[in-house]
A = this chain, B = another copy of it.
Amino acid sequence: MILRSHLGDCRWEKTPVLAYKQDGTTSFRDITKQILFEGAQMDFQWRYFEVAPGGYSSLERHEHEHAVMIVRGAGRVLLGDAVHAIKLYDLILVPSMTWHQFQPTGDAPLGFLCIVNAQRDRPQLPTAADLTTLRANADVATFIRI
């Protein structure tokens, strides 16, 4: 496993395409996950997520940070109380306890690398009160999917 060839379209040898979330408690659509690197000696986990057109990642926040690079397509991301356009190779830091959600634009998938600490807290989902606060911003209200 020292070398895994890229097979095209962000699929790799010996790297299964997984369900995005296993627990079934969060809301998301048309998104897959591949674990590119993890291991006992690694203090991080390197993942690739891909959101199909019309899909979205779960709206969530957590103590741990996300380090993200877009590697396929383009889209928009909610970070806190603002929605940003994101394109190929842009870098995104999702700070601690910041609401975030990724969505593709157009009819191509949005794919991104996401590095996290191996030891990290579980994501938190928005309460009804959190959603009310988020939706007080018109841009955010229009953007978010749950």
A146 within 8 A of B: no
How far does the alpha carbon of A65 sit from the alpha carbon of B118 in the complex, in Å? 14
Asked, given contacts A36-B69, A42-B65, A96-B41, whether A3 binds B115 with beta carbons under 8 Å apart, the answer is: no
Min CB gap A62→B, angstroms: 11
Q: Please, could you name 13 A-B residue pairs with CB atoms under 8 Å apart, sorted by A?
A: A3-B86, A10-B89, A12-B91, A36-B67, A36-B69, A37-B67, A37-B115, A41-B64, A41-B65, A41-B96, A42-B65, A43-B44, A44-B67
Extra pairs beyond A3-B86, A6-B87, A42-B65 (12, CB < 8 Å): A2-B92, A2-B93, A3-B91, A6-B90, A36-B69, A37-B93, A39-B65, A43-B43, A43-B44, A43-B119, A71-B89, A113-B113
